[in-house]
Amino acid sequence: MGLFLVSGIVSPALVMMTTWSGAFSFELGMLIQPVDVALNLCAWLAVTGALVLVARALRDPARQQVLPAPR
């Protein structure tokens, strides 16, 4: 979730910074785009993984029980 917020905040800020520099902005923007796509993909994978873990925990609460100590 934090990665999703970082990718949503950092990538527009980088794009805005690069648009002020004229012709250089297009080249830098082309470098930022794959990074933005990778950050968004990682964010969606993290959110999906967290939802899967929550769904598994809610579906099978017996799996969360602590085993008794050995004697």
pTM of the entire predicted model = 0.43
Please report whether residue 54 resides in a domain: yes
pLDDT per position as a tens digit, 14-51: 555 545 555 555 566 666 777 788 888 888 999 999 99
Structure tokens at 58: 């809610």
Please report whether residue 49 resides in a domain: yes
Please report whether residue 71 resides in a domain: no
Distances (CA, A) of 57 to 12, 24, 27, 28: 36, 50, 46, 44
Please report whether residue 69 resides in a domain: no
Please report whether residue 13 resides in a domain: yes
Number of domains in the chain: 1
Please report whether residue 20 resides in a domain: yes
- The 10 Å Cβ neighbour count of residue 69 is 5
- Domain span holding position 58: 2-64
